Structure 1
């Protein structure tokens, strides 16, 4: 089981209910649909920055990576990435990931808490 975040490019939704709908629409289109699209430049830069902080789980010889999927970039398509973290590292990693998204002008949605972050 993992703690999941969704990060995307776009305008910040006015509230959590709208954010849930935007996330669902993006998920259906980019991750659950038949259209495969490479990650956008912004999402690629975001993943690169995450991996500068903690390595990809596929390269984690010391078992320090919080990511539950790998390669992490494979969790992205178009303007969206939907990725998980192990519960033991979720508090620290999700706070960092949310703050990073905000600093890069991206939207971060906490799937477990059904709310925008930070």
Structure 2
């Protein structure tokens, strides 16, 4: 079981509905399709580096990430962060705060709401 967040580079949506629409579009364009490999945008790449510095991307399944390596979840302007449910409170709070520091949008697709 995992808890997931989506973080993307772009203007912050006005509300949860607008964020949900933006997420759906980004998901369809960048996360559903494995056809084209798009390198992460610079702000997303910097965000991921900072995130895995705090929560290493061990790739062995023993860390906080439900499907490491997290860097593989980064197509272009969006990153999808599946985290283990047991670590979700701590990691999602940090991931949302870090996204804000980097000027990125953080969205909770389970609750369909923006993370402050």
TM-score, length basis structure 1: 0.92
Q: Which runs of 5+ in 2 are unaligned?
A: none
Deviation at 1:59, TM superposition (A): 5.7
Residue equivalent to 2:24: 24
TM-score, length basis structure 2: 0.93
Residue equivalent to 2:111: 113
Q: Which runs of 5+ in 1 are unaligned?
A: none
Whole-angstrom distance in 1 between the partners of 2:14 and 2:68 = 32
Secondary structure of residue in 2 paired with 1:77: coil
Task: Provide, for residues 34-90 of structure 1, a one-character-per-residue CA deviation record: whole Å limited to 9, x for no partner.
Answer: 333111111111110011101103167xx3x21112111100100000121111000
> RMSD of aligned C-alpha atoms?
1.3
Runs of 4+ in 1 over 4 A off after TM superposition: none
Residue equivalent to 2:10: 10
Secondary structure of residue in 1 paired with 2:51: helix
Listed as ranges, the matches of 1:1-118 within 5 Å are 1-33=1-33, 34-58=35-59, 63=62, 65-118=63-116
Q: Are 1:6 and 1:111, in contact at CA under 8 Å, matched by a contact in 2?
A: yes
Count of residue pairs brought into register by the alignment: 115
Deviation at 1:115, TM superposition (A): 0.3
